[in-house]
Amino acid sequence: MEQKINCAQACINGCVLGDKCPNIEYREAASKFIAETSLDRMLQIAEERLKRKMTEPPKWVFPDEQ
């Protein structure tokens, strides 16, 4: 049986499920990215994304009318 937890809250100090984590593939990909990417490159990626976000038009979200 797969456990359902809010990883953003429960795993703030590290994964609490270990090898039973349903998101283990993402954890492995993140670890690989961190190991293979310099901090300067990560900052560059973040800066590029921020510039793109600042130039995008606003997105309006309307709640479903009932």
What are the two backbone dihedrals, phi and then psi, of residue 46, each rounded to the nearest 5 degrees? -65, -40
| Per-position pLDDT tens, the chain of length 66 | 455 788 888 888 888 888 888 888 888 898 899 999 999 999 999 999 999 999 988 888 888 765
pLDDT at res. 21: 83
DSSP assignment letter at 62: -
Q: How far apart, in whole angstroms, are the C-alpha atoms of residue 58 and residue 64?
A: 19
